[in-house]
Structure 1
């Protein structure tokens, strides 16, 4: 039962999707687009379905790094 729930959390953890574009110099650049609805769902399910503390910390770390990258790339 718990294993299926943790798998569910992992499936919903992909809330940052890289989008390949080209900048003015023609070099490919990754732009991260964030789906706010997915982020909200992910946050709601995180503490409901995660019983293993280390697993929860890992998911939170991935989430924070992804949002940090998103904000860093988003800056002009």
Structure 2
């Protein structure tokens, strides 16, 4: 559970054989969705795991980190 309103996927320990897939659900998201919507969101995110999208998500992570950096006034180039 997380304090923000979204769902996210992650793989911990990517460089080891004991990597672990993680699905993060924001508590506000759980309050906002109906049961059917939650089922759809979980199915969508679990399909990303099944397709291996999470393991190939390094570019998305880099984009998000840059976005957060800029949004927080990081400046620079």
Q: TM-score, normalised by structure 1?
A: 0.35
Question: Which protein is richer in helix relative to its size?
Answer: 1
Select the structure with the greater relative contact order (CA < 8 A; seq sep ≥ 6).
1
Q: TM-score, normalised by structure 2?
A: 0.35
